[in-house]
């Protein structure tokens, strides 16, 4: 029998008094009944736990097998005292004021507009491609959007039936720019040629004729002022919420007395891979601390060349605004093995997910939520939105038809929000 211990965050912010997440110090799990068991302390699990506790006075046990809360958004101060993101740079951006208002209960914000450069032909060039990218790459002096549009049109190679990622990009900007900026990066990132990937993968990458070099176009682009982990600590700091880290759901599922289960881990794992594994792309992160104040001009530099083994390098001080005599960076190496990060967008994988989804529909008492529970690449704001939508349905339905019916309905919404 495992006791609930106070271990939501294995890394302490220097100078902070530690976490304030409530816990059942040394008490036996069997003495408690929880209305909900939530698996995963990332955005999906934490937002839902907060709402159920603060909004509906439910009791919740949140378990996470990692040694910390925050899921992939977890940040911490490394040995050099620099705030870094353990699972790669997480930039918060959204067009939803509702989601900003909700998260603002737990954090202040620091304005930050994300800019990315790509190392191409020995130069650092803005990505998404804009007029400056083209001018610098080709030694041109285009001054208007029309000139840049005409230039791109002259390069574009129209594809009649756009099916793959390669088709999308070649149709838009032609083969040369495709090869310089997209092909190598995509091959490294996915372990697949763009011609094998669904068109939606690169359809997300805009090409611009102006000189806007912001990576995202969202109305709200800011970072939690004290970091994500602090925000999660405040979110989970409620007497009705108990947090158990370093604990796999399977270790405690038979020991905990709970009503409903919300699972934000991998849906295929929950069902013991009954229909086979849902394919994911993983990443290996190499964190480095450097004896210098700055490393690169922006937070993220992409390396599309195939002879460079990593895809990008991130330097966190640009994101956090931290002033420090040292700096810390992270190299990202895509890999087939490791934690599940990116669902691989291919039709056969979507079909496989549908089989799990159907099984989930037929399984009472459990709701799947979040990027792993619903096998979708979601940004953080989308996962917050998904969790808030689920809560709204649970709450609404509880008022009318009773808890179980509400949870059933909530399951539908979680799927519709995908």
Ligand X SMILES: Cc1cc2nc3c(=O)[nH]c(=O)nc-3n(C[C@H](O)[C@H](O)[C@H](O)COP(=O)(O)OP(=O)(O)OC[C@H]3O[C@@H](n4cnc5c(N)ncnc54)[C@H](O)[C@@H]3O)c2cc1C
Which residue in 64, 75, 198, 315 binds ligand X (CB under 6 A)? 64
Q: According to the binding rule CB under 6 A, does residue 380 interact with ligand X?
A: yes
Which residue in 23, 39, 103, 223 binds ligand X (CB under 6 A)? 39
Residue number with CB closer to ligand X (201 or 383): 383
Residue number with CB closer to ligand X (371 or 393): 371
Residue number with CB closer to ligand X (78 or 147): 78
Segment contacting ligand X by CB under 6 A, of 64-72, 181-189, 354-362, 395-403:
64-72
Which residue in 131, 371, 393, 411 binds ligand X (CB under 6 A)? 371
Q: According to the binding rule CB under 6 A, does residue 8 interact with ligand X?
A: no
Question: What residues between 134 and 153 interact with ligand X by CB under 6 A?
Answer: none
**Residue 185: both structure tokens together:** 């990066």
φ/ψ of 118, rounded to 5, equals -115, 135
Q: According to the binding rule CB under 6 A, does residue 91 interact with ligand X?
A: yes
Question: What residues between 228 and 287 interact with ligand X by CB under 6 A?
Answer: 248-249, 264-265, 283
Which residue in 7, 9, 59, 72 binds ligand X (CB under 6 A)? 72
Question: What residues between 321 and 360 interact with ligand X by CB under 6 A?
Answer: 341
Buried b (16+ CB within 10 A) or exposed e, 95-106: ebeebbebbeeb
Residue ranges binding ligand X (CB under 6 A): 39-45, 63-66, 71-73, 87-91, 248-249, 264-265, 283, 341, 370-372, 378-381, 383
């Amino acid at each position: 029998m495992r006791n609930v211990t106070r271990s939501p965050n294995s890394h302490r912010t220097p100078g902070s008094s530690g976490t304030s997440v409530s816990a059942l110090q040394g008490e036996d799990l069997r003495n408690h009944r929880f209305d909900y068991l939530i698996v995963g302390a990332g955005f999906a699990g934490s937002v839902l736990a907060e709402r159920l506790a603060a909004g509906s006075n439910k009791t919740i046990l949140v378990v996470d097998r990692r040694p910390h809360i925050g899921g992939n958004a977890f940040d911490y101060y490394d040995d050099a005292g620099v705030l870094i993101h353990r699972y790669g740079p997480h930039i918060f951006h959204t067009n939803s004021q509702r989601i900003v208002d909700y998260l603002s209960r737990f954090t202040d914000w620091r304005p930050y507009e994300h800019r990315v450069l790509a190392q191409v032909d020995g130069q650092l060039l803005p990505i998404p491609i804009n007029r400056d990218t083209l001018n610098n790459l080709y030694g041109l002096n285009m001054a208007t959007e029309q000139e840049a549009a005409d230039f791109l049109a002259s390069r574009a190679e129209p594809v009649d039936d756009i099916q793959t990622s390669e088709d999308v990009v070649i149709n838009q900007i032609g083969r040369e720019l495709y090869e310089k900026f997209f092909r190598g990066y995509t091959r490294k990132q996915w372990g697949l040629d763009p011609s094998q990937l669904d068109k939606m993968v690169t359809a997300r990458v805009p090409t611009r004729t102006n000189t806007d070099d912001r990576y995202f176009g969202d109305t709200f682009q800011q970072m939690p002022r004290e970091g994500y982990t602090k925000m999660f600590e405040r979110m989970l700091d409620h007497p009705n919420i108990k947090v158990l880290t370093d604990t796999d759901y399977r270790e405690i599922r038979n020991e905990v007395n709970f009503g409903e289960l919300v699972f934000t881990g991998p849906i295929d794992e929950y069902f013991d891979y009954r229909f086979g594994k849902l394919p994911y792309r993983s990443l290996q992160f190499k964190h480095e601390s450097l004896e210098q104040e700055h490393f690169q001009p922006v937070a993220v530099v992409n390396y599309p060349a195939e002879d460079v083994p990593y895809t990008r390098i991130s330097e966190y001080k640009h994101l956090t605004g931290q002033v420090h005599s040292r700096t810390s960076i992270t190299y990202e190496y895509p890999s087939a093995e490791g934690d599940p990060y990116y669902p691989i967008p291919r039709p056969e994988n979507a079909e496989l997910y549908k089989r799990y989804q159907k099984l989930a529909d037929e399984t009472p008492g459990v709701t799947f939520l979040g990027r792993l529970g619903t096998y979708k690449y979601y940004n953080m704001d989308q996962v917050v939105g998904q969790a808030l939508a689920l809560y709204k349905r649970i709450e609404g339905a509880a008022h009318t038809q009773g808890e179980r019916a509400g949870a059933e309905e909530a399951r539908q919404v979680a799927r519709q929000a995908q």
